Amino acid sequence: MTDVSLSKEAIEKPRNQWWDVWDQFKTHKGAVFGLGFLIFITLFVSIGPLLWDVDPGKLNIRNKDVRPIYMGLFDSGAKVNWANPMGTDNLGRDIMANIMQGGRISLAVGWTAMILAVFLGTLIGVLAGYFRRLDGLLMRFTDLVLALPLLPLLLVMMLLFRDPLRAAFGPENGIFILIVTGIGITSWMQTARIVRGDVMALKEREFVLAARSIGTPARRMITRHLLPNVLSPIMVSATLGLATAIITESALSFLGLGFPSDFPTWGKILFDSVDRMTAFPERVIWPGLAISLTVLAVNYIGDGLRDALDPRIRGH
Amino acid sequence: MFDEAPKPLVSVRDLKMHFPIYAGLFRRRVGEVKAVDGVSFDVMEGETLGLVGESGCGKSTCGRAVLRLYDITSGEISIDGREIGAMPQGQLRPMRPTMQMVFQDPQASLNPRMTVEAIIKEPLDEHTDLSEADKRTKVAELMDAVGLNRKFAKRYPHAFSGGQRQRIGIARALALNPKFIVCDEPIAALDVSIQAQVVNLLEDLQEQFGLTYLFISHDLSMVRHIATRVAVMYLGKVVELAPREGLYAEPLHPYTKALLSAVPEPDPSLAATTERIILQGEVPSPSNPPDGCNFCTRCPSVMDICRRVEPDYREVQPGRFTACHLYNDTAEATAGLEAHKSTNKEKIK
């Protein structure tokens, strides 16, 4: 056939595919900024409390209502000090420490609930789309969950399971598990529907038929042919899911059914400050900014990843 | 007999593939599309059986049903001495390496998210336990065999032209050293110049690996080029099956005559003299075929019996099968025709 040197050269393993993905990802400016911000905010909430070791729960009534440091520029009479660069709230708790501590919880809840929801949604969507006999059952179940009013459902869940979970896992972990599962199992339906539709369309494509003519069993058909091709809609619903999870957690905390009141999260800080928003806008702006920038960053990363993982786009 | 009686590799008997139609409020079964309705043929070892017919006559369904990509309604299919017609899909898996398929649309039949190497490697992953390095060597050999540059192994299908993609599909079909390949209109989606390349490639591979093809096409001139025997389908049934020379020189069934007369004649002086048989009307719906012969609604030489009795599919001359009442009385007169045919064959040779 061919000479040995040529075959050796061809057999030599070429560079890893993931480098191509990274190269394409780098060309998406928004995604790179998003990744940068996500790394920054993750470090800010994880390493931040080690450097800024102020107890977020410590009350200091004499030092209450301190404005953020930049207010000194416009208003020489403003109450500012360097010990509380982002200011303090009406009980004198340091806002920066609270944002860090709250970010830990919010990000953890957001990511875990999103991963749970996407996993559930993909699983149910793929099963319903691929196995025709499961389709009716699973999709009617999806419709059923969609038709339930979610907030009351979550509230009932909180009331029913809060105490047993607290007893089993401790007050913080218990409520964390409760909130994550609560959000996860009430937000997978959109993903399931999108994935089901895409799988049903893909299933009729000829390459799936070709795989069947090879004798590929169903599980590898799904992992090798279907999942990589429904990656884009999954990615989109994942990025949207993260945002929804953070915001739902805020809503729950606001209703007093999330984490305990001395336990800050971004959503809780935001809602606690709403009533004095006109006098102290920064108390809304800091957590609001953190939530929206994180969500925006994840959306951009998702966008960039979707492009980078698609070989048709990557080629150019 | 003129055939040296080779043994059939694939033999199909009374294959039926009906697709149910559900309609109405309660999705009740209201009928069925008889895509393939009682087809019988043999494919001899090492030969190419051409399967021709107009769009929607059930050629592709027939090809897929033979490979059991569908669960067939009824019938017998035996490949390489094993009956697979009623075998459940799970037991079929070890048989898959023997029979492979080349698909019509090279764009759609390759997973856009897999590299060429991964695509060609998939059958090896499923059916062999070679090491990664061995698989890669095998893929490189296959790419050589179908005329693709080995350096393209890490590229994705979208980066290739139609002809190259079809070569990838052929390499995938060859990966497990199959005996029997169903080529489902492998050239229909390609340029004419590329068609010739792919057909020549298929012929070379047949010689090299001793393959047997079921070549499905609507391109009569291409089938004439590649096939040893040709089967003509109309509305889910084989109406005529004959050796290539006989079929093209002297078609028996009125439908085959009409089909062949539609092939364009390149010589203008001949084209002016050849008479075309123009069929009237539409193909009946496969969910509601006519009584009697399926072709009776459009047949130029229709008789009364055609509308009542379905013609048997039988051997009217040695090696030539047809399902037509016109040849009801010729079965006995075969001896005379045989002599006529042997002279005919010599002329062609």
| Separation of alpha carbons B312 and B305, rounded Å | 12
Which chain B residues are Cβ-neighbours of A11 within 8 angstroms?
A: 133, 136-137, 140
Q: Which of B69, B93, B150 sits opposite A209 (nearest CB)?
A: B69
Q: Residue B154 and residue A17: Cβ atoms within 8 Å? A: yes
The arithmetic mean of pLDDT across residues A176-188, rounded, is 87
Check whether B61 has a pLDDT greater than 80: yes
Which chain A residues are Cβ-neighbours of B133 within 8 angstroms?
A: 11
The arithmetic mean of pLDDT across residues A28-43, rounded, is 91
A254-297 residue pLDDT tens: 677 777 777 888 888 887 888 888 888 888 888 888 888 988 89
The arithmetic mean of pLDDT across residues A23-43, rounded, is 89
Residue pair A121/A192 in contact by the 8 Å Cβ criterion: yes
pLDDT at A36: 93
Which residue from A261, A257, A206 is spatially nearest to A89, judged by alpha carbons? A261
Check whether A52 has a pLDDT greater than 50: yes
pLDDT at B5: 61
| Min Cα–Cα distance to chain A from B55, Å | 18
User: Which 8-state DSSP code applies to residue A88?
Assistant: B
pLDDT at A33: 92
The model's pTM is 0.80
pLDDT at A316: 56
Pick from A13, A213, A314 the residue to mutate for testing the B interface (most B CBs within 10 Å): A213
pLDDT at B181: 93
B122-163 residue pLDDT tens: 999 888 888 888 999 999 999 988 888 888 888 888 889 888
pLDDT at B190: 83
pLDDT at A13: 55
| Min Cα–Cα distance to chain B from A39, Å | 29
Which chain B residues are Cβ-neighbours of A10 within 8 angstroms?
A: 140, 150-151, 153
Q: Which residue is it, tokens 């964390």?
A: A176
| Min Cα–Cα distance to chain A from B129, Å | 15
Which chain A residues are Cβ-neighbours of B104 within 8 angstroms?
A: 206
pLDDT at B305: 87
β-bridge pairing B314-317 and B229-234: unpaired
Q: Which of B114, B126, B158 sits opposite A214 (nearest CB)?
A: B126
| Separation of alpha carbons B286 and B302, rounded Å | 20
> pLDDT exceeding 90 applies to what percent of chain A?
17
Check whether A15 has a pLDDT greater than 70: no
Residue pair B332/B325 in contact by the 8 Å Cβ criterion: no
B4-58 residue pLDDT tens: 567 888 999 999 999 988 887 788 888 888 899 889 999 999 899 999 988 888 8
B291-314 residue pLDDT tens: 888 888 888 888 888 888 888 888
Q: Residue B112 and residue A229: Cβ atoms within 8 Å? A: yes
All residues at 6 or more sequence positions from A187 whose CB lies less than 8 Å from its CB, including other chains: A113, A117, A241, A244, A245, A248
Residue B335 pLDDT class (50, 70, 90 cuts): very low
Helix (H) or strand (E) holding B48: strand B48-52
Q: Residue B169 and residue A10: Cβ atoms within 8 Å? A: no
CB pairs under 8 A between A and B: 88
B214-265 residue pLDDT tens: 999 988 888 998 999 999 999 889 999 999 999 988 899 999 998 888 888 7
> pLDDT exceeding 90 applies to what percent of chain B?
25
| Separation of alpha carbons A195 and A119, rounded Å | 11
pLDDT at A142: 92
B104 touches chain A (CB under 8 A): yes
Q: Which of A206, A220, A224 sits opposite B109 (nearest CB)?
A: A206
Residue B339 pLDDT class (50, 70, 90 cuts): very low
What is the 3-class SS of B68-135, one letter each residue? CCCCCCEEEEEECCEECCCCCHHHHHHHHHHEEEECCCCCCCCCCCCCHHHHHHHHHHHHCCCCHHHH
CB atoms within 10 A of CB B133: 10
> pLDDT exceeding 70 applies to what percent of chain A?
94
Q: Which of A206, A224, A228 sits opposite B103 (nearest CB)?
A: A206
Which chain A residues are Cβ-neighbours of B69 within 8 angstroms?
A: 209, 212-213
Q: Residue B156 and residue A225: Cβ atoms within 8 Å? A: no
Measured between CA atoms, the residue of chain A closest to residue B182 is: A213
* Structure ipTM over 0.95, yes or no: no
Looking at every residue in chain B, the average pLDDT score rounds to: 85
B14 touches chain A (CB under 8 A): no
Looking at per-residue pLDDT, the higher value among A305 and A255 belongs to: A305
Looking at every residue in chain A, the average pLDDT score rounds to: 83
| Min Cα–Cα distance to chain B from A287, Å | 40
pLDDT at A183: 87
Q: Residue A217 and residue B93: Cβ atoms within 8 Å? A: yes
Q: Which of A6, A7, A214 sits opposite B96 (nearest CB)?
A: A214
Which chain B residues are Cβ-neighbours of A311 within 8 angstroms?
A: 112-113, 115, 156, 158
Helix (H) or strand (E) holding B143: helix B132-145
Residue A165: alpha-carbon gap to chain centroid: 23
Which chain B residues are Cβ-neighbours of A233 within 8 angstroms?
A: none
pLDDT at B329: 66
B27 touches chain A (CB under 8 A): no
The arithmetic mean of pLDDT across residues A103-110, rounded, is 88
The arithmetic mean of pLDDT across residues A41-51, rounded, is 86
Which residue from A295, A253, A298 is spatially nearest to A102, judged by alpha carbons? A253
pLDDT at B341: 45
Largest CA distance in chain A: 88
pLDDT at B342: 45
All residues at 6 or more sequence positions from A44 whose CB lies less than 8 Å from its CB, including other chains: A100, A103
Q: Residue A315 and residue B159: Cβ atoms within 8 Å? A: yes
Q: Residue A11 and residue B158: Cβ atoms within 8 Å? A: no
Residue pair B121/B159 in contact by the 8 Å Cβ criterion: no
pLDDT at B261: 87
B60 touches chain A (CB under 8 A): no
Measured between CA atoms, the residue of chain B closest to residue A220 is: B126
Residue pair B241/B232 in contact by the 8 Å Cβ criterion: yes
Q: Which residue is it, tokens 């997978």?
A: A188
Check whether A11 has a pLDDT greater than 60: no
Pick from B109, B117, B124, B148 the residue to mutate for testing the A interface (most A CBs within 10 Å): B109
Which chain A residues are Cβ-neighbours of B114 within 8 angstroms?
A: 224, 228
pLDDT at B285: 87
| Separation of alpha carbons B185 and B84, rounded Å | 24
Q: Which range, of A11-25, A168-182, A193-207, B298-312, averages the lowest pLDDT?
A: A11-25
Break chain A down into helix, strand, coil percent, rounded to 5. Answer: 75, 0, 25
pLDDT at B337: 45
Q: Residue B67 and residue A213: Cβ atoms within 8 Å? A: yes
Residue pair B157/B168 in contact by the 8 Å Cβ criterion: yes
The arithmetic mean of pLDDT across residues A125-130, rounded, is 92
B177 touches chain A (CB under 8 A): no
B13 touches chain A (CB under 8 A): no
Q: Which of B92, B93, B108 sits opposite A207 (nearest CB)?
A: B108
Residue A141 pLDDT class (50, 70, 90 cuts): very high
Q: Residue B140 and residue A17: Cβ atoms within 8 Å? A: no
Which chain B residues are Cβ-neighbours of A227 within 8 angstroms?
A: none
Check whether B348 has a pLDDT greater than 60: no
Q: Is the dihedral of CA A94, A99, A104, A105 positive or negative?
A: positive
Which chain A residues are Cβ-neighbours of B128 within 8 angstroms?
A: none
Check whether A17 has a pLDDT greater than 80: no
| Separation of alpha carbons A184 and B6, rounded Å | 65
First vs last C-alpha separation in chain B: 17
Which chain B residues are Cβ-neighbours of A216 within 8 angstroms?
A: 122, 126
The arithmetic mean of pLDDT across residues B73-98, rounded, is 87
